[in-house]
Amino acid sequence: MQNEEQIEELQMEYTEELEKAYNHLLDEYQVIRAGRANPHILDRVMVDYYGQMTPINQMANIQVPEARMIVISVWDASQLKNVSKAISMADLGVNPTDDGKVIRLAFPPLTEDRRRELAKQVKKLLEEAKVVMRNARRDVLEKFKAFKKDSKISEDEYAGLEVDVQKELDAMCVKAEKASVEKEKEILEI
């Protein structure tokens, strides 16, 4: 009974690791700019807000009034310069302009070279996610092998677990590849 619980727990941890890798990949894809203004590009930009590093979305309204523009309305007008400086330092490929009330980010159309560069980045992120997923598979199979070695599970049970683990990995890789293809299509779309 105890072995079954341990195996179930290991399988759940493995599933969580795969989900975590997949969700991280999606988060990375959200930050990649694809010719349109996407407020998520600002998710990782931190501003020194009275000595506390704070994300922009916690200190301002972020709007997308048109396809290639983001408008940031900072709640505390005294922080306008700090927010503008943080965006400049984040190297997002766009320069902030402020009129004393709001900050505007105007996104230029992507060049063909930049699109190809971003498509390569999408593929690289996919490969990194797959490596993390394969490492999770290796780790869980090593634990199952230890169970087999200690005679906690039979050879047949191990073989069944190995098949289950591989099926789950394959399914998650297909999901990740689909997300990658969609992001690449979005980037290369003019």
Domain boundaries, the chain: 2-31+111-188, 39-106
Task: Please tell me which residue, 123 or 4, carries the higher pLDDT value.
Answer: 123
Question: What pLDDT score does 33 carry?
Answer: 66
State CA 18 to chain mean position distance: 13
* 58 touches 69 (CB < 8 A): no
Burial class (CB in 10 A: 0-12, 13-18, 19+), 136: buried
CATH of domain 39-106: 3.30.1360.40
Q: How confident is the prediction for the chain on average, in pLDDT?
A: 87
**145-176 tens-digit pLDDT:** 998 888 888 899 999 999 999 999 999 999 99
How much of the chain exceeds pLDDT 90, in percent? 37
Q: What is the pTM of this model?
A: 0.75
Q: Give the pLDDT of residue 142.
A: 94
> Using 50, 70 and 90 to split pLDDT, how confident is the model at 190?
low
Q: Give percent above pLDDT 70 in the chain.
A: 97
Of 3.40.50.300, 1.10.10.60, 1.10.132.20, 3.30.70.1450, which CATH number belongs to 2-31+111-188?
1.10.132.20
Give per-residue pLDDT as tens, 11-33. Answer: 999 999 999 999 999 988 887 76
Q: What is the pLDDT of residue 4?
A: 85
